[in-house]
Amino acid sequence: MSALPVFVIGQAPRLDLAAEIAAAAPGLPIAMRGALDGMTRAEIAAIPPRDGADTLFTMLPSGEAVSISKAAVTSRMKAMLAATDGPVLLACTGAFKGLPDRPDLVQPSAVLNGMAEALLPRGRLGLFVPLPEQAATLGASRAREGLSITVLPLRPHADASTRAAAMAAMAEQKPDLVLLDCISYTRADKAAAVAVMSCPVLLSVAVAARAAASLLPEP
């Protein structure tokens, strides 16, 4: 089986993300590249978000969490996609405008919206997002008629007490479906949600990895 190109919005390697993809799609070979590969830390600091709508959250290979400009990432992603044939997984749940329309490009945002609509035509959707400043934009991107949305911030790789408090706050809202709306959330985050909520919980990286794997030839 050919390796699936996985394009992260930050820099490769992302060992944490590779581990989550391996757990979701065992045996799936991947080739990871980053939109910011080759950039120095100072150069990354020079592309901050302009506002909440332009904000992306990512983890660097060092484990440092950073906020970067979606516009800057989108420009670099266009060049990467132009040089890559075949299926590609874009490892981010943000909605990217201006990327080429191609049926072999898996943008998790669209996949997650489709799955959430199929599972929950009407009801209460709970969203976890990395940063408070992303709440309005990401909440609006999931909105549709018949759906009420609760959006709570939870930074990926947060400590156990912070994560538990966020899950408890969401459980109080009694959602019918919960979406961990960032590719950097992990199985540990899903386990913490499942422990206090009776509804289904979608882990973005797992959903995206399985969708992308389905585009490859069967072994």
Tens of pLDDT, residue by residue over 11-44, are 999 999 999 999 999 999 999 999 999 999 999 9
Given phi > 0 = left and psi -120 to 50 = alpha, else beta, which region is 126? beta
- Please calculate the CA angle 156-162-164 and round it to the nearest 5 degrees: 100
Map out the domains of the chain with their CATH numbers: 4-107+207-213 (no CATH), 110-204 (3.40.50.2300)
User: Residue 137 pLDDT more than 90?
Assistant: no
Per-residue pLDDT band at 1 (split at 50, 70, 90): low
| 170: Cα separation from own chain's centroid | 19
Phi-psi bin for 54: left (phi > 0), alpha (psi -120 to 50), beta?
alpha
Give one DSSP letter per residue of 158-193, joined into a string: --HHHHHHHHHHHHTT--SEEEE-STT--HHHHHHH
Element spanning 137, H or E: helix 135-142
- List helix spans (H) across 12-54: 15-24, 41-45
27, 125 Cβ separation under 8 angstroms: no
According to the model, what pLDDT value does residue 53 have? 87
- DSSP code of residue 215: T
At a CB cut-off of 8 Å and minimum separation 6, what does 60 contact?
10, 11, 41, 44, 66
Q: For Cα atoms 215, 117, 148, give the angle at the middle one, nearest 5 degrees.
A: 145
**pLDDT above 80: residue 134:** yes
Question: HSE on the CB side for 117, CA within 13 Å?
Answer: 11
- Buried residues in 31-64 as b, exposed as e (16+ CB within 10 A): ebbbbbeebeeeebeebebeeebbbbbbbbeeee
Q: What's the pLDDT tens digit per position in 46-105?
A: 999 999 889 999 999 999 999 999 999 999 999 999 999 999 999 999 889 889 989 999
Alpha-carbon distance 133 to 159, whole Å? Answer: 20
Calculate mean pLDDT across residues 187-197. Answer: 97
Which residues have a Cβ under 8 Å from the Cβ of 160 and sit 6 or more positions away?
A: 192
Give the pLDDT score at 176.
98
Owner of token pair 């408070």: 132
Residues forming a β-bridge with 153: 129
Q: What pLDDT does 217 receive? A: 87
Mean pLDDT of the chain: 94
Report the pLDDT value the prediction gives residue 46, as an integer from 0 to 100. 96
